[in-house]
Structure 1
Amino acid sequence: MALFELLLLLLLSAVALGWVARRFKFPYPIALVAGGAALGLAPNLPQYAFDPQLILVAVLPPILYQAALLTSWTDFKANIRPIGLLAIGLVAVTTLAVGATLKLLVPEVPWAAAFVLGAIVSPPDAVAATAILSRLNMPRRIVTILEGESLVNDASGLVLYKFAVAAVLTGAFSFMEATAQFALVSVGGIGVGILLAFVYIGVHKKLGDPFIEVLTVLTIPYTAYLAAESVHMSGVLAVVAAGLVRGRYAPEIVSAEMRIMARSVWNLLVFLLNSLVFILIGLQMRSVVGNLGQYPPALLAAIAVSITAVAVAVRFAWVFPVAYLPQRLSGNLRDAKPRPDKNELVIISWCGMRGIVSLAAALALPLTLPGGAPFPHRDLIIFVTFAVIITTLVGQGLTLPALIRRLKVGSNWSLHDEQLRVRAAMSAVALAAIDEVMAAENVPAQWAHSLKAEIADRIALAASDGTELTPRMELVNRLQHAAIKAERAELIRLWRANEIGDEVMHHLMEMLDYEQAHLPKLAAAAAASTGSSAPHLQGEAP
């Protein structure tokens, strides 16, 4: 019964928080962290027992895998140096700085446990940041660096996290041994992920059924994680490697029908997993705070503020030097790649919001040591982690758009121009193919006039980016939405009158949904009146 209650609470909370995020137009992680905080304040909520180790296994693989699928390998490789400096160097420095700060503020915390907190809050989550940046037309390289950083730093942070937890459990730690083991488990995890990716690519080519394909794809992240962990390699790096490799080959092996289906499945799964973790932390927060009675509230607040400030300040202190140091060392001769300007570096520094990975890692902390003693200061680590997440997500996330406008960053149209260039090339080929078929069939050219006009309208709509439509295009757009709305209403009328069966209704409704999904969006009121689809919660994955 408790499991069903938790599932019901999960679904109801996900619906409410998803609606709030859409209604107030901010990234859904902010709504989730606010919802989790609200649950923590609610009295008499039930407590659900769960195995902490299952959190990492159940939640992180699909989230990391989807992020890897959506990462452009070309852009990732082109920006590998800044991504590596942020995702590995900054994570290590943040782990040390946060751990030392906690040890300074609470001397009774063991060094290993202090570094556990440092590893937990070291990797920022780019979901909220990129959701905002994508709407504000930021330079493409900035978004690429942040997405690449978020992908790799989750892996590096979790590897450091496992080493720190192991040091707490065993009471022993050797820097040289840990460094060698870090390299081994990292390379081994990447190797396992690449191998499994090619195995699944071969299997995928033999399937041929969209439903089976989607179900098969859902097993990839869990298989990669468990396979790597079973041979004592990095499961998270195996998942990331598998996602990057398969994402590279996905356009060639994935059917259109499977892509459409998989997008909805992945978006729903990842959103529900995010919701689950924030709900669990909310349900536990009252007992966590209750177990911290030995700390005065002022001290808890000071610890939370200090750790958050250190995490934010270290990012600023790291970003600016590493952006300029390589060119200084090379005398600007060997480093021809353009670097972000100062205002863009401020934006990168401010995009340090912590999120789902940090929260899942905190919840996954063991309850006890091998001897049966409680894990040292587990409740304090969970409390501080949640405080850092809510402060950075809400504080930095909500102020990021204003900061971008204040710094006047966001005028690079390279991605838009590239899209126009590709659309023009595709349309030219399409028009040539139409002419070729018309000539071969020896039919009047005017028969294809409407199709050519539709292609021309597509080019015009892409050129306007859907933001500044001409009066004619606005009218055509409204007419298309109105036509689909009328078709949908008539389809429902015929179905309710029992003039058509359910199967025909569902098939035609799906066709209308796809047609509407490909139309430029109208204003909010118009979109609502035409039965717009669910909010876009996260990136799409094939």
Structure 2
Amino acid sequence: MGQYVVYMWLLGVIVIVGMAAKKTPAPAPLILVITGMVLSFAPHFSDIRLHPDIVMNIFLPLLVYEASVYLSWPDIKQNLQPIILLSIGHVVFITILVAIAAHALIPGLSWPLALVLGSVISPPDDVAIISIAEKIQIPQKIVTILSGEGLLNDATALIIFRFSLAAALTNEFSAVDAISDFFTVIALESLYGIVLGNILGKIKLQLLDPKIHVLLSILSPFLAYLPAVKLGGCGVIATVVTGFVVSHHYQERFSPEVRLLSRAIWETLGYGLSSVLFLLVGLHFQITLDKIALIPFKQLWLYATVITLIVILGRFAWVFPTTYLPRLLFPSLVKNNLPPWQFPFIVSWSGMRGGISLAAALSVPYLATHIGDTDLRYLIIFLVFCVITATLLLQGISLPWLLEIIGASHIRSREKGDEHLCEFIARSEMTNAVLRWLTDYKAQLKEDRNTLHEVNLQLLEYRALKKRLEEIIHHDDADYHLRKTSKYNAAMFVFAQIIEVERTALIQLWRDGKVTFKIKNKLLEQLDLRSKRYAQSV
């Protein structure tokens, strides 16, 4: 069976797992990793490899850009302190802890290689976290913090990784140079991202064809990432900043067709890439076991257990002190109140690792250092694989019921009520704006009876809508907003049935030869857009 056929089978596996994940509480990344582990023992599938260059130069920029475009910069800015403490401080802290333990445990592992191991497994994977957050009741503030951390922590880890790997290969390392280069990379990549984002945004405003616009959008992360990498940077910061600039300064001026098409394509692309990544992680299970088969099982178990525990418990050791100590020691410098203990607990327990860590480990070249007859490179890969699997299994499965035990799911339920109220208020203000425009426009109409009739109809409809919205907004019961949404869901069901009736009639007209294929597709697209707009409005 050819390789291309195997990859088609992998795509089929992702579709099947995606369908199964909708019906199970287990997160999709976990199911994909386990499925990959099982398939790694099957013929043909065992030959598939996670190529580090493809992951780091194609998957990573696309996933980072997709996340940055659809993440709120005001929310990131509001939670910038914990995000920086996690994306920089936590990565450095875990890197050092893992390096100390690995250097002490593993014979022949030099300090630079220990730092390589630490840097590779220090950053949690935002794709795994967000896919789990979509299925459970994680408070929105925590989702924002974890998403922001996931965007930026790869940059910190990759910079440390490159310096550590260079030190391992050349036996030369300067902490001063490393720190200086680190902040230089952040500053220059941020500047490059701002410039590139504005250039791309202005070009996209001139593009009228949605298809060309989306193609440029897919090219954008590579224009940000690859030049930065070629010049010695990490590329992640430039990609994130470019995505933020385009989405927050230009996206609202794009045409509706562009926004609809872009969102559909990027969501599909992001889901597909992340699914392939987790499936490939599992497919490395068998080859990883083969490479470290000569090391005694007790040693492997000891190494994997200690490193995994350090990664999990070390996050608690970082998050809780950095959350509360600044507020207790310097209350005048901290604007926010003390968060409930559930918040840092959830952040601490949401430290799942993913495919980027394995890709970085696979990019480590063959080493002259061995443990027994095994190259230390394979041991590093094995330990990274163990941490990824253990955190996905342990934390990914337990997080939903832990949220119930500590009462955090109720926080998210209250947030949803507040979000719905905020949505109704926004819709009320939009309705008021329409009513003002209709009233002014009606005053300008004189002899145009057709337009005047249409304006009067719209005035009646929007006045009725305003009345319904004000009734909802001024209701004191917070749960009422959620119940009212359920009522709107019933209305959406009726509307969906109406659209389906129209769609069925249209298809029948086409089959009877009463409309052309082109007209059928045009009207079908209009029905789809109506359905999507109505679903978003309710």
What TM-score does the superposition give when structure 1 sets the normalisation length?
A: 0.86
Aligned-residue Cα RMSD (Å) equals 3.0
1:281–1:363 contact (8 Å) kept in structure 2: no
* 1:452/1:8 CA distance change after superposition, 3 Å: farther
Q: Does 1:94 align with 2:94?
A: yes
* CA distance in 1 between partners of 2:42 and 2:425 (Å): 53
Paired residue for 1:45? Answer: 45
2:122–2:157 contact (8 Å) kept in structure 1: yes
2:27–2:135 contact (8 Å) kept in structure 1: no
* CA distance in 1 between partners of 2:119 and 2:479 (Å): 45
* CA distance in 1 between partners of 2:472 and 2:534 (Å): 9
* CA distance in 2 between partners of 1:286 and 1:13 (Å): 18
Paired residue for 1:423? Answer: 427
Residues 118-133 of structure 1 mapped to structure 2, 5 A cutoff: 118-133=118-133
Q: Secondary structure at the match of 1:421?
A: helix
* CA distance in 2 between partners of 1:24 and 1:333 (Å): 47
**Bigger relative contact order, structure 1 or 2, given CA contacts below 8 A and separation 6+?**
1
Q: Secondary structure at the match of 1:94?
A: helix
Following superposition, the deviation at residue 381 of structure 1 comes to 2.1
Paired residue for 1:480? Answer: 495
Given residue 187 of structure 1, which amino acid in structure 2 is its aligned partner? A
Paired residue for 1:288? Answer: 288
* CA distance in 1 between partners of 2:526 and 2:364 (Å): 47
2:503–2:524 contact (8 Å) kept in structure 1: yes
Q: Does 1:346 align with 2:345?
A: yes
1:133–1:143 contact (8 Å) kept in structure 2: yes
2:46–2:286 contact (8 Å) kept in structure 1: no
* CA distance in 2 between partners of 1:375 and 1:439 (Å): 85
Following superposition, the deviation at residue 385 of structure 1 comes to 1.8
* 1:476/1:419 CA distance change after superposition, 3 Å: closer
Name which of 498, 505, 511 aligns with 2:526.
511
Paired residue for 1:271? Answer: 271
- Larger helix proportion of the pair: 2
* CA distance in 2 between partners of 1:66 and 1:500 (Å): 39
Q: More deviation in 129-138 or 303-312?
A: 129-138
Following superposition, the deviation at residue 375 of structure 1 comes to 11
Instruction: For residues 387-442 of structure 1, give each alpha carbon's deviation from its aligned partner in whole angstroms, at most 9, with x where no partner exists.
Output: 22222123212222211121112424254443333222112212333333344446
Paired residue for 1:533? Answer: none
Paired residue for 1:112? Answer: 112
Paired residue for 1:390? Answer: 389
* CA distance in 1 between partners of 2:266 and 2:189 (Å): 23
* CA distance in 2 between partners of 1:452 and 1:136 (Å): 38
Given residue 503 of structure 1, which amino acid in structure 2 is its aligned partner? K
Name which of 502, 512, 516 aligns with 1:501.
516
Q: Could you tell me which runs of 5 or more consecutive residues in structure 2 were left unpaired when the two chains were aligned.
A: 447-451
Residues 19-30 of structure 1 mapped to structure 2, 5 A cutoff: 19-24=19-24, 26-30=26-30
What TM-score does the superposition give when structure 2 sets the normalisation length?
A: 0.87
Instruction: For residues 25-84 of structure 1, give each alpha carbon's deviation from its aligned partner in whole angstroms, at most 9, with x where no partner exists.
Output: 554322322222222243553514675323210110011111221222212122211111
Instruction: For residues 216-274 of structure 1, give each alpha carbon's deviation from its aligned partner in whole angstroms, at most 9, with x where no partner exists.
Output: 11111111111112222231221122122222213343221111111121122222222
Q: Does 1:187 align with 2:187?
A: yes
Aligned positions, number: 517
1:46–1:283 contact (8 Å) kept in structure 2: yes
Paired residue for 2:166? Answer: 166
* 1:138/1:184 CA distance change after superposition, 3 Å: same
2:292–2:374 contact (8 Å) kept in structure 1: no
Q: Does 1:447 align with 2:457?
A: yes
Given residue 403 of structure 2, which amino acid in structure 1 is its aligned partner? I
* CA distance in 2 between partners of 1:466 and 1:513 (Å): 28
1:121–1:358 contact (8 Å) kept in structure 2: yes
Following superposition, the deviation at residue 456 of structure 1 comes to 6.3
Q: Could you tell me which runs of 5 or more consecutive residues in structure 1 were left unpaired when the two chains were aligned.
A: 522-542
Q: More deviation in 223-232 or 101-110?
A: 101-110
* CA distance in 1 between partners of 2:438 and 2:358 (Å): 54
* CA distance in 2 between partners of 1:59 and 1:472 (Å): 41
Paired residue for 1:531? Answer: none
* 1:144/1:499 CA distance change after superposition, 3 Å: same
1:70–1:247 contact (8 Å) kept in structure 2: yes
Given residue 483 of structure 2, which amino acid in structure 1 is its aligned partner? E
* CA distance in 2 between partners of 1:19 and 1:145 (Å): 29
* CA distance in 2 between partners of 1:311 and 1:390 (Å): 13
Percent identity between the aligned chains? Answer: 33
Paired residue for 1:358? Answer: 357
1:36–1:279 contact (8 Å) kept in structure 2: yes
Paired residue for 1:378? Answer: 377
Paired residue for 1:492? Answer: 507
* CA distance in 1 between partners of 2:385 and 2:234 (Å): 25
